[in-house]
Structure 1
């Protein structure tokens, strides 16, 4: 799963917005329901309500809570089907930061092509449960999937939230990469796709290596060496772990 955490939007939510969003996922308590229904909150309950809202606001942009909401229904369904109890997933999830546009695009393509790589689908548009299939179906109807971040090209001034890349170019890259994976002809990528990659300063061989072996290449944050340095500086960490994985790849 490739996630964009929109902290700015969460921080702009009013207290009532936070409560309403939380109640879509969890029951809340008597106090939060009183507040959501517009009932009077007693003065001695205000501090407790504010504290609860702060916790909810934090959890609504927390990856761990996202994964909890994702995993629990899957576990319940699997346990019901198998007539058993316990966890569905053996271990805790792992996450890694994608620090620049190339890292995001490469990881997205890697994830989109999982069904093709596993020979569960012949083409990206036939890859069930992938965002690219959802995007293709939406484009045919002239729509944008509400749950997915849009591709906005380079129009950042008009649409600050989105992937700064053309969806048409991304679709071509994923399709071409899928053909290489299926036909096992590494490096056999079209000139048109090579031209797209040249605009983001990524050689075709590097792109194929990223989108085929992304899971093997990286165990931590992914991006240019400069982005990696800025990332660890922000975290106030002196040791630059996983730098060796990034320094050999020409991220733009």
Structure 2
């Protein structure tokens, strides 16, 4: 039975989510079709640019992403607090960056609103847009719609392009967040289309490494690593970038029998600081998509989420 989005996505419980969208009938989003020889490689840039473009409008921070041949992954942070802190004018400007404004809001911008009923109408529009700016469902809807329109136009066809709605997993703590990010960034290596993270085109880790090569420790279009000492502030990713790179490198060196790709072995400091064993980390990073676990976190955090949602049971992948 399908679960309502309101039961799957709740920023008050956790702001972090892992999302996946797949093409219908495993059609090619990107890459090269081995049967026809036709290349769709240019579509990787479509979706990467659209992700980053929408992230600059919505209060949805991109922690990691990977664009594959027939699907893409996102790990995001919903910045509800940031959306609620926006002024009405900032809300309208952000919404106007991607959408046409109704006439009454155009008059509101020009200071041409006279009656109380018109003011109420404007407030209703602004309130609705504010909620949408931190809605993961709206973000994914607009992302997938735009790509589907472009792809169908290029293929000269109509109809469904994506396999229904996107799949999401709630990441309840920093261990789940870190493991999901590593899992996403390692997708090209596991698929054996890249040998190392720095060669993994159209991924967030490649974007971060490119910024580092330029002497930049932050990437404007991606969520920033805040450092472990700032984890309680919940304004970004509560780890150091250097530790995350070590973790991705270590997990990527572990050989998986169900995947052809891997890199060599090392052990990062981040595992000790999080009290996360190597076996736990590897298990979590490789089980995210094997079973429909829509909530990911420690047993205690899964229990807290279940109580907050008033559910008798919930499908979850828990970390020891």
The total of aligned residue pairs comes to 243
Q: Which runs of 5+ in 1 are unaligned?
A: none
State which of 252, 268, 271 in structure 2 corresponds to 1:178. Answer: 252
- Partner in structure 1 of residue 284 of structure 2: 210
Counterpart contact for 1:154–1:165, Cα < 8 Å: yes
More deviation in 101-110 or 39-48?
39-48
The structure with the largest alpha-carbon Rg is 1
Q: Secondary structure at the match of 1:155?
A: helix
- Partner in structure 2 of residue 29 of structure 1: 102
Q: Secondary structure at the match of 1:156?
A: helix
Cα offsets for 1:126-178 (capped at 9, x unmatched): 11111111111112223211121111212328975121211111101112222
Residue 21 to residue 14, structure 1, CA distance change in 2 (3 Å): same
Q: Counterparts of 1:172 and 1:6 in 2: how far apart (Å)?
A: 27
Mapping 1:1-252, distance limit 5 Å: 1-143=74-216, 144-156=218-230, 161-181=235-255, 189-190=265-266, 192-193=267-268, 195-217=269-291, 219-237=293-311, 239-243=312-316, 245-246=317-318, 249-250=319-320
- Structure 2 length normalisation: TM-score? 0.70
Of structures 1 and 2, the one scoring higher in RCO (CA 8 A, sep 6+) is 2
Greater fraction strand = 2
Q: Counterparts of 1:3 and 1:158 in 2: how far apart (Å)?
A: 18
Q: Which runs of 5+ in 2 are unaligned?
A: 1-73
Residue 93 to residue 22, structure 1, CA distance change in 2 (3 Å): same
> Over aligned residues, Cα RMSD in angstroms?
2.3
Q: Counterparts of 1:140 and 1:185 in 2: how far apart (Å)?
A: 25
- Structure 1 length normalisation: TM-score? 0.88
Runs of 4+ in 1 over 6 A off after TM superposition: 182-186
Greater fraction helix = 1
Q: Secondary structure at the match of 1:223?
A: strand
